Structure 1
Amino acid sequence: MTSDDSRSATGAMARAREKAAAGMASAAMAWLSALNDDQLPIAAYASPLDPAVETERLRWFFTPTEHGGLALRDQNAHQQSLAMQMVASGLSTEGFAIVSTVMGLENVLDQVEGWGSHWGRRRGRDPGLYWLRLFGRPGRDRIWAWRFGGHHISLNYLVIDGRLAAATPSFMGADPARVELLGSTLCPLQGAEDAARQLIRTFDAYQFRQALLHPSAMSNIVSGNRPRVRHGDTMMHLRDLWRGRFSDPTLDELVDDIDRQAEASSGYTDADHALVAITIPPKGISARDLGEEQRHLLRRLLTRYTGRAPRDLSAAHDAHYARDSVLDEVHVGWAGDTDEGEPHYYRVQGPSILIEYNNTQRNGNHAHSVWRDPSSDFGLNELAAHRERPFPHSGCE
């Protein structure tokens, strides 16, 4: 790619970020205008420039716990529609379809578990327990953010001066990962799983040895729900993912028991977890060591994650990774079996991207996937720069 092509790709990315932010702002203002005086304090906090607010914004989950914000089940039908339009503003059509499917799977999971899961509430698997919260107000604050999340979904965005500054972490999971229908199978994350397996199966013996992180897969993604990804991070256990203990001793023991069973199934020790820790520079095989067709398959795998973004932004990401010098910095790692249906894990990592996919629980029928940007998750670096940069006080923040 020439320098002119590079400048064109950069310009396209900037325009896409502005367009995405405008769509989000419009949807956010419509949703907020439909809320009553009791709902607004729950739905909207102050701008992320407030340190206390920032602490809350970085508190994210993908477990079936309270995520913070206004739950869908606490909104009327019109408000729910506007909330989902807000969610759709941050996603491609395909990404929104995945999120909607994952939410609906809560009903299926409830049946799989014999309608007995409660997690400290009357219904433990509830498609109405997905929360939307804004931090700051579009049209009023120069810096504002929003998130949407519930079990197996966490979407996080930051807007600065009318431009989308961050769209990660972006977490999507599925339990069950595969659901048998009448004559077909529902697999919301199959594209992400199949694209990686197709790539890994093209590796020769030398390439596979380079890519192999461990012969077996760990029981979860490694980065967990940390606000930042750092060198040396090892897999977060359930206790840490939940960030505290339950007041109900039965639930407390349940979390510990699930974790013990998962660890026993994986066979991992502390030494094994250290082997698959996230590192900078990344582990795995570099794209430099891949052939042209393999590089094409890697780019396709990347789109299974960056394609979650709104269409123009997704296209700008495609153009970014079309540059050979950018793709050369990306590494691919694999753990576990390569056969379909067997527990496995993979990682795709570069300077501005971290992808993790894990499908080990429920005998390889419970998947977690995350798209992160270690250099700009939550837009933390850019937000820090704005805090240090003087600007005229407008009374808005």
Structure 2
Amino acid sequence: MTHETPRHRVAATMAEAARAWLDMLSPDQRATAAGHQPADNASDGERRRWFYTPTDHGGLTVHQQRPAQQRAAMRLVSTGLSRAGYVTVATTMGLENVLDHTEGFVARFDRERGRDPGLYYLRVFGEPGGTGTWGWRFGGHHVSLNNLVVDGQLVSSTPCFMGADPASSELLGGAVNRPLARVEDLGRELVRSLSPGLAGRAILSPKAPSDFVTGNRTSIAEGDRVIPLAGIWRDERFPDPAEQAKLQALSDAIDAAAGYEEDDHRSLEYTARPKGIAGADLSTGQRDLLRALLDTYFGRVPDEISPLDAYDEAALDAVHFAWAGSVEQGAPHYYRVQGPRLLIEWDNTQRDANHAHSVWRDPSNDFGLDVLRAHYRGVTV
């Protein structure tokens, strides 16, 4: 008998919620909501596509569901998140209304409504439950959640992306809505705490990139550099040439504002060997900041499966921290946290540094690829 672990229990909860949602759908809805069973071949390609722009993420949208179905869909989404993670995702979805107001309620991106809280997509891959492979993906503008279950156990929750636009917006009574406040502030607090010598090693460039470096690539490779905004969409071009021209102009303006030259790109390009400073070089207080920063990413998943507890003193020694851009609040900036089986990226550069992106990845096992390979080869992992 298989020993039940927290990852088995979370997977069982996911499976029950996924079946309940799928059972509520009409045949036409289910045709859109259901995808191929996760596999170690080309049929798994769609599951491995992910986005964080306001493009078609693939699946059944909120708009395409009745209220009871929407409720069941959000229940499934919640099974892959902690309470704080779920609140953050729900808030991000609601920010589409704020962004619509900011931009003057105009149509954008070849859509009837460019900023739309109803255009978040859910898809289940394979049949939930059992001892095979299945998974689910939920995404829309500034949200991408990717989960894989193998042999009844949740084996992957990455890539896990959360963003916010606006990153900061006003509330009544002088309060401020900052969904990713601690994700940003802990990184800045850490870089500001460094001695001049350590800061010189940690700060890779005085200029922040236009976006995070690895983009929405399915897999991460040596030498990866920033992908222009126009390249992070499901289709290469909009059918409407005018909308395509607007997107390209926006993409070009973002890149121009960053002002990145060849040397800047080289300094920040992804390398398997981590850049910046190691946790081993930090003081006790700085290591506490680094651990707290990790928790803003690992704390997105249900508490019982957060990997934070695995980061003992030796593991923390191998985690590296790097920064680019200004250390002043309100200025464009970027940071990277990298270690064995870990890549975290954050940027807040666009819209006058009021447009934030954050992603947690496992370069060796995003989408559970290593586990899938082992499963289909009959290897116990």
TM-score (norm: length of structure 1): 0.92
In 1, Cα distance between the equivalents of 2:227 and 2:253?
A: 15
- Specify every segment of 5 or more residues in structure 2 that has no aligned partner in the other structure, as ranges: none
Matches within 5 A, 1:109-258: 109-140=99-130, 142-183=132-173, 184-242=175-233, 244-258=236-250
In 2, Cα distance between the equivalents of 1:236 and 1:74?
A: 31
Superposed CA RMSD in Å reads 1.5
In 2, Cα distance between the equivalents of 1:229 and 1:327?
A: 22
SS in structure 2 of the partner of residue 42 of structure 1? helix
How far residue 390 of structure 1 moved from its aligned partner, in angstroms, is 7.9
| Residue aligning to 1:327 | 316
How has the CA–CA distance of structure 1 residues 23 and 202 changed in structure 2, closer, same or farther, with 3 Å as cutoff? same
Q: After TM superposition, which residue ranges in structure 1, 4 or more long, deviate above 4 angstroms?
A: none
How far residue 139 of structure 1 moved from its aligned partner, in angstroms, is 2.7
How far residue 332 of structure 1 moved from its aligned partner, in angstroms, is 0.2
| Residue aligning to 1:7 | none
Matches within 5 A, 1:348-363: 348-363=337-352
Matches within 5 A, 1:1-397: 15-49=5-39, 51-140=41-130, 142-183=132-173, 184-242=175-233, 244-314=236-306, 317-321=307-311, 323-389=312-378
Note the alpha carbon deviations across 1:3-23, whole angstroms, 9 max, x for none.
xxxxxxxxx9x8221122111
SS in structure 2 of the partner of residue 235 of structure 1? coil
In 2, Cα distance between the equivalents of 1:207 and 1:390?
A: 44
In 2, Cα distance between the equivalents of 1:51 and 1:117?
A: 39
Letter of the structure 1 residue corresponding to residue 274 of structure 2: P
* Comparing 45-54 and 104-113, the one that deviates more: 45-54
SS in structure 2 of the partner of residue 57 of structure 1? coil
Letter of the structure 1 residue corresponding to residue 225 of structure 2: T
Note the alpha carbon deviations across 1:251-308, whole angstroms, 9 max, x for none.
2112221121112111112331121001111101011111111111100000000000
| Residue aligning to 1:395 | none
Corresponding pairs, count: 376
Note the alpha carbon deviations across 1:293-343, whole angstroms, 9 max, x for none.
1111100000000000101112xx12111x112111110000011111111
Q: Is the 8 A contact 1:47 1:141 kept in 2?
A: no
In 2, Cα distance between the equivalents of 1:52 and 1:135?
A: 14
* Comparing 345-354 and 245-254, the one that deviates more: 245-254
Letter of the structure 1 residue corresponding to residue 265 of structure 2: H
How far residue 50 of structure 1 moved from its aligned partner, in angstroms, is 7.1
- Specify every segment of 5 or more residues in structure 1 that has no aligned partner in the other structure, as ranges: 1-11, 392-397
TM-score (norm: length of structure 2): 0.96
In 1, Cα distance between the equivalents of 2:138 and 2:16?
A: 16
How far residue 245 of structure 1 moved from its aligned partner, in angstroms, is 1.7
How far residue 389 of structure 1 moved from its aligned partner, in angstroms, is 2.5
In 1, Cα distance between the equivalents of 2:13 and 2:130?
A: 16
Note the alpha carbon deviations across 1:133-159, whole angstroms, 9 max, x for none.
011011356100110000110000000
In 2, Cα distance between the equivalents of 1:32 and 1:89?
A: 15
Q: Is the 8 A contact 2:40 2:369 kept in 1?
A: no
In 2, Cα distance between the equivalents of 1:50 and 1:122?
A: 38
| Residue aligning to 1:6 | none
How far residue 205 of structure 1 moved from its aligned partner, in angstroms, is 0.2
In 1, Cα distance between the equivalents of 2:291 and 2:324?
A: 20
SS in structure 2 of the partner of residue 172 of structure 1? strand
